[in-house]
Structure 1
């Protein structure tokens, strides 16, 4: 197997997940994620929304069930 091309600003899935899920409102990391041209549309939408709103969606009801 031969690598034929490489994206200039490529990130591994591990790095992207760490940036998005572990460093929730780190604007510097969000800027780096916005520069990823291979990020899926749905992920990019979430990055853009988080960056614009400076909010992280509350998942407690989904994780813990409705009160």
Structure 2
């Protein structure tokens, strides 16, 4: 007899708006840590540029999670 995993359900309205934070909390990386990581990789950016990069990565993570949850069966 095999056990099936229980699916976690989340609410997604018909407009396809989805907020992963409704089911999980994101802890954003501190700006100074992001700058240090980028500098170690040889990428030197201003605080404003690092902030934009973090914002984009947070957005990308939310999209990835949304797609994973919507396509999970």
TM-score, structure 1 as length reference: 0.33
TM-score, structure 2 as length reference: 0.31
